[in-house]
Structure 1
């Protein structure tokens, strides 16, 4: 009988547990031992649900947890919480492990190593950034800590630093909790992944729910009380009193452990893998927010921290570790968010990204309604399409609107995936009924306008 092999997984959230679960489905405990080390208090949870837990939309913390440690152990997966990997020895096929509760360290051997260390929140190196009351938002424990502050300390004023997805969603959560909320961003618009004209619509929506926006103002520091608790956020233009500060400055791949061991990382800082999620180190795999992947429109390496990618990549790695065959082809950069009743979506490249990738582009912006205009509940939505000049190939899309607007981006993502032109998109057979769409769906209207723009550009010979 062949000796039992050992799979060691570093990281117990989306990518790590997906890989472990898929490998277990294909190889039983007698054939493959699976050990997962996770430094946090929770595993296999929805990080995307943290703002909704903080805001009170979701009251039960357990609702964000997909499977408990006991459920994994029942399936023959040895999940160890509060256990941190601190060093990888590639030559020795082992990982040095530290118990965060007991403090001891020891080496764990592996035959295959799965790195799923996720992403690290960006924290500014500014005076006062380590003051009590300044919170990052990355793991479920962060959300638990912020909600505890809201419920026990009853803060009145919150300042959110950063206008990306997490920053805006956390600003909404603070509004829902009844706080006075200010949002500070060094950029001139929130949602920097959108073009400025679409970002302006989001900014108006934020002001509409009572968030004070201070854009184009880099944070210079944080004031704290003698006891070390944050009291204000300072920019070059103002000082904003704060009982609570939430950092929403984005994340970067948590690839340092792998890089220090000699595993190759790319220009994004993410771990380099092939399509099967293998690194260039022997019998070492990686998936999730710690890796970089290929953007299918630009062809460039990108690091996009989303649970959708992490779960898919983890599944691919697990299938391969279990003796099957699977690949992860890349991404088109699809993302959606909601700020109260305003929905935001994007896919592909924005104008700046398209220009950086060397494309000559045309753009159209179309206003429409989410339902037939005469049907109750019809709401405004704005759709922007970016197409390549001459060829008319769709390069990117953005949507800002009310209920039932954002998920229309899925059809646009499929068109991008298959390299469709805007002219081809005008013939798409999309669903129609007055409660769901106008007779000309907003996607089709935008595609038709973009196709017209491409044709005019061709005729002009410019």
Structure 2
């Protein structure tokens, strides 16, 4: 069999993993990887931590070098080599060597595009001023470090409260800078639900970060004292020695578009389940492509390293004739901010509603719980907040968000795997997981989430939510079943107080002609109250997640126009 000539445009996650997999499958293929920058495969996700000096040596960010590709895989890597055009009819690419200025062509039997994404440049005057950075490459992070170490930068403004914005905020603060974080939305992590990200806001405030929610940047201006001024629409100004712009990324599709390859409805490169583009000789992987979302069933852009690696591997399999299929993405991700960790998989309530999927076709429901990350009797247990979203039709899991100091990632990974297998809340209820007191509980938080959701689906309990408590119907009686000292510390307005231990003796005081919404601190005691009341003929419901979730929801739902 004649050997194939395979050209790969772009390294990092998708292109580099594709190249290595190709060699493992085909020892005879000629494989050439073109990278327009100085590094073929580096850890993008590590850049904020290099800025923060958590990762101290730049070389630790390098996943693989051209020498490693040549010696270990017999793959040729050409750095500073930008592919500027594709001649699909002749199966030929045009390459510009940025070191020598030479332009030349190369032929291919198969072409893989892994161009990645580029940072969104919002329409803000002053983005090109010295001291304004987009964090996408090692040279970007290298220059930010220089500003801190050599120029003695003391103040920073971060624009954007997503993954990179939060990680850069944390790392700049850890290096002793005074940091202000500006987010145009009224919450951090805009794709998540507000009440689940509120703990991140609280920890940023605790660490001295100025967080401005609902704030829009009008301009970045230079100052006579060498500092930059970030001017907000409110007319406030924030002084900074450096500004980080992290408002998202867009797929890099110029090369594909100019070659006439089909794009999807979201502007990414359209691929089939084999990562093949509209040209059967060209594949595409990574941040530039649109892929099937397993929850929505619709095309999606998910710029994460994990899916990019898997897509690169799968494209290599397809090129080598294997019958493979990329199953799609569900957006499993995590972000850490100081001692708080937010992990997620699937879709948030906010996203399901914005896509018009909450009521139909899924008929969604949600439950909240606040379990410890390991057995409460073992020292050091930390409380997590969990939100599980599922279908009332069949219990299928649609989304999860977990936030806390410890344990969030493990539970998210377990439930993400259940989702990948089409699992339901009944599967979580029955899941057999590791237990020792320092690692978990006999009823793991995964089991508890499944049990609570299954109770709802079986009709053992009906739930209401924090937003329902904000303006309940006039004929509803709100029942607080906590202890007196808890009630005195704070309670939902107009709540009747009746501790759980007195419910059976005082039940006659409660009306049977009104609906009763019971709550406690996290929802467990009020579940017991609701079960008892229902069995005595009362129409009782339980506040999911209890007063703790209600408090988070109220705080997150009512930030000031520009939170100081």
Provide the rounded CA distance (Å) in 1 between the counterparts of 2:143 and 2:11.
20
The aligned counterpart of 1:382 is 385
Provide the rounded CA distance (Å) in 2 between the counterparts of 1:149 and 1:27.
46
Written as runs of structure 1 = structure 2, the 5 A alignment for 1:290-309 is 290-309=288-307
* 1:457 Cα deviation after fit: 5.2
Written as runs of structure 1 = structure 2, the 5 A alignment for 1:74-223 is 74=71, 75-223=73-221
Contact 2:428 2:449 in 1 (8 A): no
Contact 2:384 2:407 in 1 (8 A): no
Provide the rounded CA distance (Å) in 2 between the counterparts of 1:339 and 1:35.
39
| SS of 1:397 mapped into structure 2 | strand
Provide the rounded CA distance (Å) in 2 between the counterparts of 1:320 and 1:150.
46
* 1:62 Cα deviation after fit: 1.6
The one-character-per-residue Cα deviations of 1:411-443 (angstroms, maximum 9, x if unpaired) are 110121122221332111121111011332222
| Segment drifting more, 295-304 vs 436-445 | 436-445
The aligned counterpart of 1:235 is 232
Provide the rounded CA distance (Å) in 2 between the counterparts of 1:453 and 1:156.
52
Contact 2:180 2:210 in 1 (8 A): yes
Aligned length, in residue pairs: 456
* 1:71 Cα deviation after fit: 1.0
The aligned counterpart of 1:72 is 69
* 1:304 Cα deviation after fit: 0.6
The aligned counterpart of 1:13 is 12
Provide the rounded CA distance (Å) in 2 between the counterparts of 1:120 and 1:334.
21
Contact 1:134 1:245 in 2 (8 A): yes
Written as runs of structure 1 = structure 2, the 5 A alignment for 1:4-43 is 4-28=3-27, 31-43=28-40
The aligned counterpart of 2:247 is 249
| SS of 2:381 mapped into structure 1 | coil
The aligned counterpart of 1:281 is 279
Contact 1:52 1:173 in 2 (8 A): yes
User: Cα 1:8–1:230, aligned 2, differ >3 Å: closer, same or farther?
Assistant: farther
Provide the rounded CA distance (Å) in 2 between the counterparts of 1:128 and 1:90.
40
The one-character-per-residue Cα deviations of 1:86-135 (angstroms, maximum 9, x if unpaired) are 12221221122112222232222222111000111111121101111111
User: Cα 1:382–1:37, aligned 2, differ >3 Å: closer, same or farther?
Assistant: same
Provide the rounded CA distance (Å) in 2 between the counterparts of 1:159 and 1:457.
46
Contact 1:354 1:395 in 2 (8 A): no
Provide the rounded CA distance (Å) in 2 between the counterparts of 1:320 and 1:377.
49
The aligned counterpart of 1:56 is 53
Provide the rounded CA distance (Å) in 2 between the counterparts of 1:449 and 1:182.
40
* 1:226 Cα deviation after fit: 6.7
Residue 346 (str. 1) matches residue 344 (str. 2): yes
Contact 1:132 1:230 in 2 (8 A): no
Provide the rounded CA distance (Å) in 1 between the counterparts of 2:246 and 2:439.
34
Provide the rounded CA distance (Å) in 2 between the counterparts of 1:136 and 1:259.
24
RMSD, matched Cα: 1.9
Contact 2:227 2:239 in 1 (8 A): no
Q: Which segments of 5 or more consecutive residues in structure 1 lack a partner in the other structure?
A: none
Q: Larger radius of gyration, structure 1 or 2?
A: 2
| SS of 1:241 mapped into structure 2 | strand
| SS of 1:305 mapped into structure 2 | coil
| SS of 2:450 mapped into structure 1 | helix
Provide the rounded CA distance (Å) in 1 between the counterparts of 2:238 and 2:313.
45
| Segment drifting more, 443-452 vs 163-172 | 443-452
* 1:452 Cα deviation after fit: 2.3
* 1:170 Cα deviation after fit: 0.6
| SS of 1:289 mapped into structure 2 | helix
Provide the rounded CA distance (Å) in 2 between the counterparts of 1:335 and 1:404.
14
* 1:230 Cα deviation after fit: 6.2
The aligned counterpart of 1:445 is 448
* 1:311 Cα deviation after fit: 0.7
* 1:301 Cα deviation after fit: 0.9
Higher-RCO chain (CA-CA 8 Å, sequence separation at least 6): 1
| SS of 2:370 mapped into structure 1 | strand
Provide the rounded CA distance (Å) in 2 between the counterparts of 1:113 and 1:24.
15
Structure 2 length as normaliser, TM-score? 0.78
Structure 1 length as normaliser, TM-score? 0.94
* 1:365 Cα deviation after fit: 1.4
Residue 417 (str. 1) matches residue 420 (str. 2): yes
The one-character-per-residue Cα deviations of 1:303-353 (angstroms, maximum 9, x if unpaired) are 111111111100111122234343211111100111111111010111122
